[in-house]
Amino acid sequence: MNQCLIFPSDIQIDGNAHLTGRRHQHLLDILRTQTGDKISVGLLNHQMGSGLIVSQDAERTCLQLELEQSPPAATDLTVVLALPRPNMLKRSLQNMAALGIKEIYLIHSRRVEKSFWSSPLLKKEAIENELVLGLEQAKDTVLPNVYLRQQFKPFVEDELADLAKGRRALVAHPSDNSQSVSCCQAPSLVAIGPEGGFIDYEVDLMQQAGLKSYSLGPRILRVETAVPVLISKIWQL
Q: Are 80 and 203 in contact (CB under 8 A)?
A: no
Is 27 a residue that touches a second copy (CB under 8 A)? no
Q: Is 226:191 a contact under the CB 8 Å cutoff?
A: no
Q: Is 225 in the site for a second copy (CB under 8 A)?
A: yes
Instruction: Tell the smallest beta-carbon distance from residue 208 to a second copy (Å).
Output: 27
Nearest to 78 by CA among 200, 211, 175, 204: 211
| 8-state DSSP, 31 | S
Per-residue binder mask for a second copy (CB under 8 A), 167-196, x = binder: -------------x--x-------------
Site for a second copy (CB under 8 A): which residue of 54, 122, 138, 199?
138
Size of the site for a second copy (CB under 8 A): 27
Asked if 137 is part of the footprint of a second copy (rule: CB under 8 A), the reply reads yes
Rounded Cα distance between 118 and 120, Å, is: 6
CB atoms within 10 A of CB 126: 16
Q: Give yes or no for residue 8 binding a second copy (CB under 8 A).
A: no
- How do 38-43 and 4-6 pair as beta strands? parallel
The residue within the footprint of a second copy, chosen from 41, 98, 169, 192 (CB under 8 A), is 98
- Residues 53-92 vs a second copy: string with x where CB under 8 A? -------------------x--------------------
Closest approach, Cβ 172 to a second copy, in A, equals 12
The DSSP annotation for 82-124 comes to: E---HHHHHHHHHHHHHTTB-EEEEE--TTS-GGGGG-GGGSH
Binding site for a second copy (CB under 8 A): 2, 72, 95, 98-100, 137-140, 180, 183, 216-222, 225, 228-229, 231-233, 236-237
